[in-house]
Amino acid sequence: MMLKNIQDTTNYLKNQSDFEPEAGIILGTGLGGLVEDIEVEQVFHYEDIPNFPLSTVEGHHGRLIYGFLANKRVVVMQGRFHYYEGYSMQEVTFPVRVLNALGIQKLLISNAAGGLNPNFEVSDLMIISDHINLQPENPLRGINYDDLGPRFPDMSEPYDPELISKAKKVGDGLGLNLKSGVYAAVTGPNLETPAEYEYLTRIGADAVGMSTVPENIVARHMNLPCFAVSVITDMCLSGKIKKVTIENVLKAAKNAEPGLINLIKGIIGDMN
């Protein structure tokens, strides 16, 4: 059924356009402004795409966009899906399967995250070097389709070293104070308690969020190189914990957005 749904959705999109994207981009909470820098070719609303879930979270617009960024052909998800919205992990990651079937060669992911590292500040950008998966479901659970990837995909390099190196080079050129660290993925939608933040710090996490890891797992299953970056929207360590609202998160993301946009443009422009 999954293979048929992927094929049906891919065929629908290909029948609507002969655009062939080179890279896919998933934009996280409050980070949709990148679209303004794209030379847009075509826009699809999620509700019009067969088998696509619908985004229910504020700050996620729910559009699939074809266009040019830094002279490269890109397909952008302006809004993503989360396990806490009630979707299965297979539904959460279904769009990544479709982007791969459309022919993308790289996947770039952004998200909003809470900072656990004392050297971080609100609106910092953190390159994800590795992750800790604390979500209760895995998108690869169930029947494995060998056409998509192996039963037991290797995760020794979940985030592509070449893309990370490009990002650091671009960041240096832009004068961005990029951070790097480990991202812990939790279920949500509630934020964590102080004791939980302490636990996450003790197990080696530098930031915590509710997305990205499922998409990364599916990308690696298909041998699709993946890069991810977090915008630190609030601080979650002892002495810096404050009550968080979606308005605070969106404001912090907005402050970081210009740097994030230039970073992604630089990475895309430097792609072979």
Task: State pLDDT tens for residues 196-255.
Answer: 999 999 999 999 999 999 999 999 999 999 999 999 999 988 777 778 788 888 888 888
Residues 6+ apart with CB under 8 A from 225: 105, 106, 107, 160, 162, 163, 219
Please tell me the pTM assigned to this model: 0.95
Q: 106-115 and 125-133 as β-strands: parallel, antiparallel, unpaired?
A: unpaired
Q: Which domains does the chain have, with CATH numbers?
A: 2-269 (3.40.50.1580)
Q: SS3 string of the chain?
A: CHHHHHHHHHHHHHHHCCCCCCEEEEECCCCHHHHHHCEEEEEEEHHHCCCCCCCCCCCCCCEEEEEEECCEEEEEEECCCCHHHCCCHHHHHHHHHHHHHCCCCEEEEEEEEEECCCCCCCCCEEEEEEEEECCCCCCCCCCCCCCCCCCCCCCCCCCCHHHHHHHHHHHHHHCCCCEEEEEEECCCCCCCCHHHHHHHHHCCCCEEECCCHHHHHHHHHCCCCEEEEEEEEEECCCCCCCCCCHHHHHHHHHHHHHHHHHHHHHHHHCCC
pLDDT score at 58? 59
Q: Which residue, chain included where needed, has tokens 């599916």?
A: 218
With a cut of 70, list the residues of the chain below it in pLDDT: 30, 56-60
